[in-house]
Structure 1
Amino acid sequence: MKEKFINYIHQHKLFSKKDKILLGVSGGMDSVAMCELFFIAGFDFGIAHCNFQLRAEESAEDEKFVKQLALKYNVPFFCIQFQTSKVAASSKVSTQMAARKLRYDWFEKIRMEHKYSHVAVAHHSDDDVETFFINLLRGTGLAGLAGINPKRGYLVRPLLFASRNEIEQFIHSGNLIYREDSSNSSSKYIRNKVRHNLIPLMKQINPSITKTVKDEIYRLKQANQIFMQAIEEKKRKLLFKSATDASYSLAIDELKKLDPLQTWLYEFLSPFNFNIESVNEIISAFDSISGKQFFSSSHRIVKDREFLIISPIPQIKPVEATLIEEHTQKIDSPFNIEFIKIKKNDAFKIIAKPEIAFLDLAKIEFPLQIRKWKLGDKFIPLGMTGYKKISDFLIDLKISVIDKEQVYVLQSGNDIAWIIGHRLDNRFKISKETEQVYQAEVKKTH
């Protein structure tokens, strides 16, 4: 068992001998076996235990047991107690989902704080088979049927080479003590239903069902590797990251050329937490008007004229105007702008750049305000005599919905003096009668 364990770690490049590993230990048979294997293989490790307080005294006894296990191996011990049921209720998720998130978030916190290179959990090959059926029952893509990954980021699963029977034999041969989790026999959880009901029933049809599924997982894993290589290659050609913010764009005309479109688009968007229902809605909106929005738990997609624009859901904060007094020379928020007064003489020349505005100082009413534009705002564009709504002006410029949200105005009194970076208001322009010029310049940050 020790040799298989070490070989599996080397084969999948999970970690090296010099790495320090944090073990997630429940006290059950699998995690106890993992501790023993780490110890006899000579790896440097610590133990982390989550008390989810779901089984009253039994949970407290598990915590005491794992603490003693850490003392036995003379390794660091970390423990936390969670109000799991309350978290699940407030988050409106299942107890299992809440426990999973609490566990892995805390593991990562401990890993970072105490400089562990990886977190190891004790999933084995029978867990892989159960996960195959769970994902199949819930509905999944190819990746969901390709088994549990031995390594994902900092998370490693060094026992995936072993079956439940092999782990039992290892435990008994070493006279190792472990805790029995009473919830493992409960039919309340889907994994237990698969383990205790579905798989035994399937063994009546195919006694070798476990081996059959493991073989299929292996083939599906290889097929998924080929599939994902094709997805990544196409993604590099079609999914473009903005140079200025955290958004991405996909050209709608290029997407329409893909077949099957639903599958391609789902694979492009699933990393942003969009599900297949959202993908179908997005495809249906390809030929609709601009501005329609779609949301996942973390991102939104705006259907623009020619592109799908993907961006993180913005944190909504109250927007306050930035006041510019007459003596103000520079501001740093919402962006860097410098203000100077210039005496207009024969040497003065207007520089035609969108990031610079030249205004007649005598026409300005201080304090000026810098704020985001809003519906209903209007101004008289430079060179025109009549009012134009800013919303219409931005449409004429074909500015995307995402970029519109980042448009600010410079306001003098009740009038818009400048749509910053785009157009000056005609009422504030430099004329023959101008004596002093007020210059506002947006400075790029590096």
Structure 2
Amino acid sequence: MKFVQVRVKMKKMVFTKNGTGVRMLNTVRNFIHENNMINEGDRIVIGVSGGADSVCLFHVLHKLSFMYHLTLFVVHVNHGIRGEEAEEDEAYVKQLCLNNNVSYTCVKADVPAIAKNFGLSEEEAGRKVRYETFNECFLKNKCNKIAIAHNKNDNAETILFHLFRGSGIKGLKGIPAVRGNIIRPLLCMSRDEIEQYLEENGISYQTDRTNLIQDYTRNKIRHTIISFAKEEINPKVIEHIVSASEKLTEIDGYLEKNIKIAYEKAVCYETNQEAYEINIDKLRQEDLVIQKGIIRKILEQLAGQLKDVEALHIGLILELSDKPVGKSINLPYGILASKGYHSITLKCNTIYKQQEDFTNKRPADQFGEQRLNIPGDTLIPGTNQIIHTKLINYKKNMIIPRNGCTKWFDYDKIKNTVLIRTRKEGDYIQIDSAGSRKKIKALFIDEKIPREKRDLLPLLADGAHIMWVTGGRMSEAYKVSEETKVILEINLDGGK
């Protein structure tokens, strides 16, 4: 990547003229001050796509740079999705920076290929590439802030997205104004206000047609759900959604204080085992909302995030308090929860490490033996096939899929972290309800699987017990019955 840096001569500027533009600048400046976003002499990376939001952010920070003596570094990522339009966006951003004597970096990435190779949506792959590029520029130029152009509409869309996914209070708090070194100065402005500011000031910007189509989930929320709500229910829907999230933020702050107090009473960290031990009696003394908060706090400390942790997982952990000693459950991020005599222990059953520098590695290099994301999507090592998983509460008379690529497993019968791997010495599969076993080697011979393919065939493994020979035989030990409470649905490549 080539970085071009131009130093800007600073001048003092005070916003005193009348007009919508000045009012907006003052609103943003007050928002920045309230959230302690910017300090004198900051060095800031700005993500600029060329769209209205990021162009507005560029102009606002460029004006404020004279007041705060800022040094700005623009980063633009060409996602390799829109052909000539993407090239035009890149050229626009480059010229914008040259016209204003601001340092810029333009990076090209084949986001569709990255998404395909690593089992990600194009949205997620694009976001990862952008933030990797932001961080590279951040480190190279010794910056201390990264500015992102999220606005009120983005916040409302994020809140609804989390709501529909079943998120708790934390997800419904929306996008934070400040998180670490990332700042969002336009979070106080709506998209209409941003476009009005640009129009009144004669500032051009690029239009990304992918924001207008409904192939992406957020676009569906934006153009269908929010659009309908604004037209048919209340034109101030954005403001009300964001206002509700602010109230939830206050409530969450209060809960966090009480969760911390209860956590210190009920939880003990075992350094030698790198495990968290929860005293069941002390846990039960707390209200249910505090109990759930304690569990989430531990899971976040073990995994570093809560993205794939759902309410169902929290409930399963709490139910362990009434289970027999030795009962355990498999959780996202390779975490194992197990029942002791008077406690519940949570620890990482396998080493879980997110691969941040995924753009430079092939799937086989990155994964090898891979933990199955439950729920979520997992790329089968060394292939372009993806396994999709979800958890389902079992109800009487549910129809079990008879598709060779979709299988249902009794989730409570799984003892270890589920791995996707090839065969190992000692692997076996249960072949009938009586508990009879067969070695995987013998199974492969009986089913006439060619010798050269036996060491390449992906298996889903619960320890040495093979749950499923992908696309083929499933172990009888995990079959769903009337006693099943939670179903683990595993789907290979969407069942195609």
Give TM class, smaller chain: 0.5 to 0.7
Secondary structure, aligned partner of 2:239:
helix
Could you tell me how far apart the structure 2 residues matched to 1:312 and 1:24 are?
Answer: 38
Amino acid at match of 1:267: R
Could you tell me how far apart the structure 2 residues matched to 1:118 and 1:246 are?
Answer: 34
Indicate if the aligned counterparts of 2:173 and 2:248 stay in contact, CA closer than 8 A: yes
Structure 2 alignment gaps of length 5 or more? 1-23, 354-366, 369-425, 427-496
Summarize the alignment of residues 31-430 of structure 1 with structure 2, pairs less than 5 Å apart.
31-42=54-65, 43-203=70-230, 204-243=232-271, 247-260=275-288, 263-271=292-300, 272=303, 273=306, 274-286=309-321, 287-290=323-326, 292=328, 294-297=330-333, 299-305=335-341, 306-311=343-348, 313-314=350-351
Structure 1 alignment gaps of length 5 or more? 319-374, 376-446
Secondary structure, aligned partner of 1:285:
helix
Q: TM-score, normalised by structure 2?
A: 0.59
Q: % of aligned pairs identical?
A: 28
Could you tell me how far apart the structure 2 residues matched to 1:298 and 1:153 are?
Answer: 26
Quote how far apart the aligned CAs of 1:155 are.
1.0
Moved more, 287-296 or 4-13: 287-296
Amino acid at match of 2:103: P
Could you tell me how far apart the structure 2 residues matched to 1:312 and 1:76 are?
Answer: 46
Quote how far apart the aligned CAs of 1:186 are.
0.3
Could you tell me how far apart the structure 2 residues matched to 1:32 and 1:132 are?
Answer: 24
Indicate if the aligned counterparts of 1:22 and 1:119 stay in contact, CA closer than 8 A: yes
Q: Residues 226, 117 of structure 1: CA spacing in aligned structure 2 closer, same or farther, 3 A cutoff? A: same
Quote how far apart the aligned CAs of 1:62 are.
1.5
Secondary structure, aligned partner of 2:146:
strand
Secondary structure, aligned partner of 1:119:
strand
Moved more, 83-92 or 118-127: 83-92
Quote how far apart the aligned CAs of 1:242 are.
4.2
Indicate if the aligned counterparts of 1:132 and 1:145 stay in contact, CA closer than 8 A: yes
Q: TM-score, normalised by structure 1?
A: 0.65
Secondary structure, aligned partner of 1:180:
coil
Q: Residues 252, 313 of structure 1: CA spacing in aligned structure 2 closer, same or farther, 3 A cutoff? A: farther
Could you tell me how far apart the structure 2 residues matched to 1:205 and 1:123 are?
Answer: 25
Quote how far apart the aligned CAs of 1:291 are.
7.0
Look up the match of 1:20. Answer: 43
Could you tell me how far apart the structure 2 residues matched to 1:245 and 1:61 are?
Answer: 55
Secondary structure, aligned partner of 1:41:
helix
Amino acid at match of 1:58: E
Amino acid at match of 2:266: L
Q: Residues 180, 299 of structure 1: CA spacing in aligned structure 2 closer, same or farther, 3 A cutoff? A: same
Choose 1 or 2 for highest CA Rg. 1
* 1:10-59 alpha-carbon deviations (Å, 9 max, x no partner): 11011212211101111101100111111111232111112211112222
Q: Residues 39, 168 of structure 1: CA spacing in aligned structure 2 closer, same or farther, 3 A cutoff? A: same
Indicate if the aligned counterparts of 1:26 and 1:50 stay in contact, CA closer than 8 A: yes
Indicate if the aligned counterparts of 1:22 and 1:45 stay in contact, CA closer than 8 A: yes
Among candidates 28, 39, 45, match of residue 5 of structure 1: 28
Q: Residues 88, 6 of structure 1: CA spacing in aligned structure 2 closer, same or farther, 3 A cutoff? A: same
* 1:324-358 alpha-carbon deviations (Å, 9 max, x no partner): xxxxxxxxxxxxxxxxxxxxxxxxxxxxxxxxxxx
* 1:253-285 alpha-carbon deviations (Å, 9 max, x no partner): 433333316633443245234433332333333
Could you tell me how far apart the structure 1 residues matched to 2:56 and 2:45 are?
Answer: 15
Could you tell me how far apart the structure 1 residues matched to 2:199 and 2:124 are?
Answer: 32
Q: RMSD of aligned C-alpha atoms?
A: 2.7
Could you tell me how far apart the structure 2 residues matched to 1:289 and 1:251 are?
Answer: 14
Indicate if the aligned counterparts of 2:334 and 2:351 stay in contact, CA closer than 8 A: no
Amino acid at match of 1:263: K
Moved more, 51-60 or 239-248: 239-248
Q: Residues 54, 267 of structure 1: CA spacing in aligned structure 2 closer, same or farther, 3 A cutoff? A: same
Q: Residues 16, 308 of structure 1: CA spacing in aligned structure 2 closer, same or farther, 3 A cutoff? A: same
Could you tell me how far apart the structure 2 residues matched to 1:85 and 1:290 are?
Answer: 45
Indicate if the aligned counterparts of 1:247 and 1:312 stay in contact, CA closer than 8 A: no
Moved more, 29-38 or 69-78: 69-78
Indicate if the aligned counterparts of 1:23 and 1:121 stay in contact, CA closer than 8 A: yes
Indicate if the aligned counterparts of 1:50 and 1:103 stay in contact, CA closer than 8 A: yes
Q: Residues 57, 219 of structure 1: CA spacing in aligned structure 2 closer, same or farther, 3 A cutoff? A: same
Could you tell me how far apart the structure 2 residues matched to 1:303 and 1:18 are?
Answer: 54
